């Protein structure tokens, strides 16, 4: 199963009451079911726009993982990365800050970015 992230939303009491009414009527099993269904419906409604942007701007969709070995190979080949991800970007714990700064030009992430706190701080200037 794909990794999930917890989000928090604020709703006015009338909208929340309407959600609870729909749950009581059996349309949804609980508030989480209502929210997930609503999000999926909106993503389906706007899927063409999402797909178009991902294609035009060359985004990777899903989970993208980089480790020290990968970045060292890029450095040896005198290449660098412009990372664009819709989903999750993981920079492994074995990546040193200096290596990351030498091999990563920019990071654009729509979703979750996982890396050591020190590495994230070092990369702040290239995260868009």
81 and 21 in a single domain? The answer is: no
Chain segment 59-91, per-residue pLDDT in tens: 999 999 999 999 999 999 999 999 999 999 999
pLDDT at 1 over 70: no
Chain segment 34-44, per-residue pLDDT in tens: 999 999 999 99
41 and 66 in a single domain? The answer is: no
Q: What is the tally of structural domains in the chain?
A: 2
31 falls in which pLDDT band (50, 70, 90)? very high
* Arithmetic mean of pLDDT over the chain: 94
Mean pLDDT across 93-119: 96
Q: Computed over its alpha carbons, how large is the radius of gyration of the chain?
A: 19
82 and 116 in a single domain? The answer is: yes
Q: What is the pLDDT of residue 5?
A: 87
Largest CA distance in the chain: 62
Percent above pLDDT 70 for the chain: 98
The strand order across the sheet containing 104-114 reads 60-66, 81-91, 104-114
Question: Residue 101 has which token pair?
Answer: 């700064």
Q: How far apart are the first and last CA of the chain?
A: 29
Q: What is the pLDDT of residue 58?
A: 87
87 and 35 in a single domain? The answer is: no
Mean pLDDT across 48-54: 91
Q: What is the pLDDT of residue 2?
A: 60
27 and 84 in a single domain? The answer is: no
Range of the domain at 25: 13-45
41 and 54 in a single domain? The answer is: no
CA dist., res. 73 & res. 64, Å (int): 17
Q: Identify any residues that bridge with 112 across adjacent strands, giving them in sequence order.
A: 88
27 and 65 in a single domain? The answer is: no
């Amino acid at each position: 199963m794909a990794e999930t992230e917890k989000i928090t939303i604020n709703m006015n009491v009338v909208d929340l009451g309407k959600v609870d009414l729909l749950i009581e009527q059996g349309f949804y099993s609980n508030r989480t079911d209502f929210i997930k269904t609503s999000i999926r419906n909106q993503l389906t409604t706007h899927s063409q726009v999402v797909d178009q942007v991902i294609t035009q701007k060359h985004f990777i969709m899903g989970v993208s993982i980089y480790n020290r070995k990968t970045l060292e190979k890029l450095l040896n080949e005198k290449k660098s990365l412009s990372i664009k991800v819709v989903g999750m970007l993981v920079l492994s714990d074995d990546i040193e800050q200096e290596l990351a700064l030498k091999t990563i030009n920019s990071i654009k992430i729509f979703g979750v970015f996982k890396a050591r706190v020190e590495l994230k701080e070092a990369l702040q200037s290239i995260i868009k």
